[in-house]
A and B are shown apart, each in its own frame.
Chain A
């Protein structure tokens, strides 16, 4: 059974704080890892698709790193803003199933002004 775990489950920070959270995934049969951002009452949106060990991707104040050998990825948010409040999901696609995703339970981030 493939297991994707995220920690922490929830995080409450003040505006301006930098924060990071973790996604752990199976290191065998790896070909990609996805990060999605899911705001309340909206639908999930892809942030990053990461494929290479050591890869680092950045979008504005949000960045992510990838370690495929040990099976983890970190998502960083620099200088959190209230609009960053959302649930951040990582997802592990299964190669021979057309990219069917195994989602983690998500990290719920709340940024207080």
Chain B
């Protein structure tokens, strides 16, 4: 398996634009997690899915953030409108129930 795949790897956009981050989990994994890494807060969990269903979105910072998982092999994290304080590295991870998580390479987002 290729591991968790994220795209794009780097995104530079202007304030107010819509940003969509994409993730393909490892085949067969039933959990998918979206994290954000910042200098101030370290690695924080935004939302996670079980069998494509959102379970806990308490980490999503505000209504500008939304995430979907239309099928077992694809998830998106959308920011609309984006703001400079959203600049961070966004990781997607997947796992089998209660096993270690496998992280994707991350998307480095810069909002100007």
Contacts and interface: CB of A to CB of B under 8 A. Distances in A.
A13 interface: no
Nearest to A35: B100
Interface residues of B, number: 21
Given A98-B31, A99-B98, A43 B55 contact: no
Contact of B91 (A31, A43, A93, A99): A43
Nearest to A49: B100
Contacts of B55: 97-98
Contacts of B101: 34, 44, 46, 99, 101
Interface in A68-113: 89, 93, 95, 97-101, 103, 105-106
Contacts of B105: 42-43
A59 B11 CA distance: 36
A106 B98 contact: no
The main secondary structure of chain A at its interface with chain B is mixed
Contacts of B19: none
A103 B42 contact: yes
Interface residues of A, number: 20
B34 interface: no
B102 A46 contact: yes
A16 B101 CA distance: 31
A32 interface: yes
A32 B104 contact: no
Interface of B: 31, 33, 42-43, 45, 48, 50, 55-56, 91, 95, 97-106
7 contacts: A32-B98, A43-B105, A43-B106, A44-B101, A49-B100, A89-B43, A100-B48
Given A34-B100, A97-B56, 6 more contacts: A31-B98, A44-B101, A89-B43, A98-B55, A99-B95, A99-B98
Interface of A: 31-32, 34, 42-46, 49, 89, 93, 95, 97-101, 103, 105-106
**What are the 10 tightest A-B residue pairs by CB atom distance, in nearest-first order?**
A46-B100, A43-B103, A99-B98, A49-B100, A44-B103, A98-B50, A98-B31, A43-B106, A43-B105, A103-B43
